[in-house]
Amino acid sequence: MWRLVGYISAGAVADIYVLICESPVLRIGEAYPKTMSKQTYWYILYVHANKEQRVINDFKQAFYKRELPYFIEPFCPESEYYYRNKKERNFGRVYRKRPLFSGYVFLETDMPQEEFLQEFADYIYKSEDIIRLLKYGNTNIIALAEDEKTKFEYLFKGKRCLGHSVGFIEGDKIVITAGPLVGREGLITHINRHNRNATIQVNMFGGRTEVKVALEIVDKK
């Protein structure tokens, strides 16, 4: 947006107007602010075991073949886990990654759910690798609720991977000092100090799901 801030008179020839641009200027590699972005949705496919990557590849191909005016980014959320191989640890490779939800493929897109269902319901039904598209109960609401989506995004920290956390135990209280579980201690339901992991509860489509995440307890007071 341009705003007039003044002008310089040049006599009978012309006047020079002074304008400033109030629109945000983006440097190369910078993303638009969220206020300028379209709303995005997360749809989740439940697929057969070990078919996640094939579903991702096939769905992207099917999506872009249709030349729709939307984007899509399928992904499988991951979590870090403590790797016990001593030789690997000597090289500093202490943590590895694995699927956070085995058998689930997440679809991030700006395509509204009504259009998504019209375009892909038949494709999903006929797929040999996809079991079903998740939804809320008996409704046709297939987009993960914004509050549930926001909590996942907080844990992923923009990486689509739930990294390891570090903390200590004081009495019967767990205190997380580093990692995605900082301030989210209430999600923890169980800790295995030997394997350096914890079980947390997360909400998805109105239900609660338990997943294992990497957690190192460095002290117990």
**pLDDT score for 5:** 46
b (16+ CB within 10 A) / e for 84-95: eeeeeeeeeebb
Mean pLDDT (the chain) is 85
* Span 59-118, pLDDT tens digits: 999 999 999 999 999 999 999 998 877 666 555 568 889 999 999 999 999 999 999 999
Q: With pLDDT > 90 as the criterion, what percentage of the chain qualifies?
A: 70
Q: How many CA atoms lie within 13 A of 103 on its CB side?
A: 9
